[in-house]
Structure 1
Amino acid sequence: MKIKSVVLENFRNYDKLKQSFDPLLNIIVGDNAQGKTNLLEAIYVSGFGKSFRTNKEADLIKFGAAYASVKIECERENGALEIIEYRIKSGNKKAFLVNGVNITKISELLGRLNLILFYPDDLKLIKESPAERRRFLNRELSHISHIYCLDIIEYNRILMQRNELLKKFQHKAGFKDMVEVWDVQLAEKGARVIGKRIEFTHSLNEISSKIHANITDYQEHLKVTYVTSVKNRENYDTIKQELLEQLAQNLETDLKRGFTSVGPHRDDLDILINDINIKSYGSQGQQRTAALSLKLSEIEIVRKEIGESPILLLDDVMSELDHNRQRDLIYAFKEVQTIITTTDVLHILDDYINDSKIIQVENGKSISH
């Protein structure tokens, strides 16, 4: 998949912009606060249905404007063209269209524009709470598996209903029967979610360990494992049965706490370098490189799952890497369309710049070289 062009109107600090892209390397250059990341954000919103920078969609509309829009023309590897449009009006009324047809559910949008984003805040993937790593799993799996996307949405709906039951209806007649009904549904969806996460993490570990070894000159060994309370992970039925047993065993604890204490919504990833858990003991450099390795491994996973390459978005991360790691990173993915933001093009490899498209951004306007 390749992005051919992006058209923005009233998006962040852009009045109007039409920008074409090279099918391989694109470097967006400019000082801070000129609109480099805004351009990446517009692409990201069109692929994921939301921003990676804000939960307030009104922030995406240029100050004083009544609406904003993004229009992306992309080409699939079979040559088919697709137009994806995002529109938002003041009051947060938004719409997504694919080839002119309105998309009513975000789940129908995911996977249309396959993107891998790495930006400075992705360090949270390693450092922050398990919720960050679960979000990572859910986001990436939803993007490559429509079934997983529907399963995690339904799991969260059932979980919310069970928690509501624990808080408000524990003294009502028929409570035990009601909670057992929710437990069965939660275990069914939970087993599907856990099974897919285990499969994904296996691929993630295999690919990211190779990438990490390459960009650390084989000095570090990265290992990623899925952490869950379920011990018997042989198949769907064993996972479902153990979840049912754990839900029943923890019911008294759940009643006291007012929430469900077991299930995939409590799971995590363990991330080790040379057998040391870097969430607690890794340096910031190790954490950043590990996060980059995890993100880049998604490229190979997406290729295997959907049969075409995603688009790689790198927001202000090249300056964090030394020259050799820049070389390893860029040349490892020369066949993938890559869009990089940077304040100084000299940070990027000189011998590769000649074949790339350089886009100079200044105050919401761009000049291509």
Structure 2
Amino acid sequence: MKIRNISLINYRNYNHLNIELGKDVNVFQGENAQGKTNILESIYYCAFGRSHRTSKVKDLIMWDKKNAQIRVYIEKDRLDKTIDMNLLSDGRKSISVNKVKLTKIGDLLGVLNVVMFSPEDLKIVKESPGIRRRFLDMEISQLDKQYYNALVNYNKVLAERNALLKSRRIDKNILDIYDIKLSEQASYIARQRINYIGMLNSYGKAIHQEITTQKEEIRYVYKSSFSLEGNLKDNLKNELTRKREIDIDRGTTSAGIHRDDLLIFINDVDAKDFGSQGQQRTAVLTMKFSSLEIIKKVKGEYPILLLDDVLSELDLSRKKFILKSIENIQTVITCTGVENIEEYLTGSYRLFNVQNGSIVDGGD
């Protein structure tokens, strides 16, 4: 999978942009606030139908315009794809793939696979379980549309169950129905999360040891609010029944995959509470590069790797690891130019100079 062309109209600070990407490494270099990250964001948007920076469509449109457009042309082994996004200032958006309009975001997932690594990803280790669940959900949804649909259905039923609990007009027969529906969706979601974490461990062990020169071992563990032994559907249903009175008292659902967490251990120590900042960065780096290998295994081809201003945050050994590992992966990198990454790139690369919404191709 390779992106050949990106076209932007009225997107962020780009009035009109049309660029051809190189098949290997593409470096977007420039000072801060010039529009480098906007390029990565547009690619990410075409993969997930959402921005990694804002939930508001209006934020993506040039301030004095009524709409914005993104077009990405993708070369794939089986069939080339063109993704078109039309974003409207009233918050609406339309998405087409090869000129066929999509009715659901779920139909977009997997058309363009990407893995993004940005400084904000340190939150995956440091902050709340919700951020770690979101990492799992985004990565698995690229690989499995059934997972995404199960997640949508689960969240819908969860919202309805919580609304009933908050109403204080409790109909236990309806609660029984909600518990069955939640358990059906949650059992599939939990199983796929467990499988994904198994692959994270499989690929992550060697990757982490290479980055840390054999000094550290990493381990990922899925922590659930219900038993993961035996029949997951029955386990959650029984747990919901057991906690029903607590849920009625609190007005919220206390068990389910929305309460679960991804634990990260380095040398058997919890990285969230006891890992150094360097260890936490390395843990995220391991997760991202493991995700690349997982997508390659499942999809048969590498995704696009997006590196948003991360090289300046890493020490020399981690920087060298990244630049050595991307030789066979189309990569889009943003940097301010002070990293001198061309000194470490061994393969071909294309350099783009970015200044105030204008891009000049610096050549190969």
TM-score tier, shorter chain, comes to over 0.9
CA contact (8 A) 1:212 1:290 kept: yes
Does structure 2 retain, via aligned residues, the 8 Å contact 1:75–1:81? Answer: yes
Pairing 1:261–2:254 present: yes
Please give the alpha-carbon distance, in whole angstroms, between the structure 2 residues aligned to 1:275 and 1:100: 50
Aligned ranges for residues 175-194 of structure 1 at < 5 Å?
175-194=171-190
> How is 1:232-243 mapped onto 2 (pairs within 5 angstroms)?
232-234=228-230, 238-243=231-236
For this pair of structures, how many residues does the alignment match?
362
In 2: Cα distance, 1:197 partner to 1:353 partner: 36
- Structure 2 distance, partners of 1:284, 1:336, is 27
Once the two structures are TM-superposed, the CA of residue 16 in structure 1 deviates from its matched residue by: 0.6
TM-score, normalised to structure 1, is 0.95
Describe how 1:295-314 pairs up with structure 2 within 5 A: 295-314=288-307
Residues 118 and 315 of structure 1 are in contact (CA less than 8 Å); yes or no, is this contact kept in structure 2?
A: yes
Secondary structure of the 2:332 match is strand
- 1:224-303 counterparts in 2 under 5 A? 224-234=220-230, 238-303=231-296
Determine if contact 2:162/2:251 at 8 Å carries over to the other structure: yes
Sort the Cα spacing of 1:284 and 1:232 in 2 relative to 1 into closer, same or farther, 3 A.
Answer: closer
| Structure 1 CA distance for aligned equivalents of residues 312 and 205 of structure 2 | 23
1:211 partnered with 2:207: yes
Identity of aligned residues (%): 41
Q: Distance in 2 between matches of 1:225 and 1:270?
A: 5
Structure 1 runs not aligned, ≥5 long: none
Change over 3 Å in CA distance of 1:354–1:131 after alignment to 2:
closer
Looking at structure 1, the residues matched to 242 and 339 of structure 2 have their Cα atoms a distance apart, in angstroms, of 60
- 1:139 matched residue in structure 2: 138
Q: Distance in 2 between matches of 1:323 and 1:246?
A: 49
Q: After superposition, what is the alpha-carbon deviation per residue over 1:292-321, rounded to whole angstroms, capped at 9, x for unaligned?
A: 111121111111112221000000001122
Distance 2:265 2:26 in 1: 33
Q: Measured at CA, do residues 351 and 169 of structure 1 come closer, stay the same or move farther in structure 2, by a change above 3 Å? A: closer
Separation (CA, whole Å) in 1 of partners of 2:345 and 2:120: 27
Compute the RMSD of aligned alpha carbons: 1.3
How far the C-alpha of 1:218 sits from its partner, in A, is: 1.4
AA at the equivalent of 2:56:
K
Of 29-38 and 279-288, more deviation after overlay is shown by 279-288
**SS of residue paired to 1:335:** coil
**Equivalence for 1:116:** 115
**Conserved in 2, the CA contact under 8 Å of 1:323 and 1:349?**
no
- Structure 2, gaps ≥5 residues long: none
| CA deviation string 1:117-166 (max 9, x = no partner) | 01111111011110101111111111110010101111111111111121
- Report the Cα offset of residue 187 of structure 1: 0.9
Cα 1:120–1:247 change in 2 (3 A) is same
Q: TM-score, normalised by structure 2?
A: 0.96
- For 2:195, which of 191, 194, 199 is the aligned residue? 199
**Residue type of the alignment partner of 1:130:** P
- Indicate whether 1:368 and 2:364 are aligned: no
Counterpart position of 1:33: 33
1-structure distance, mates of 2:260, 2:339: 42
Q: Distance in 1 between matches of 2:147 and 2:23?
A: 30
In 2: Cα distance, 1:349 partner to 1:272 partner: 34
Q: Is the 8 A contact 1:8 1:15 kept in 2?
A: yes
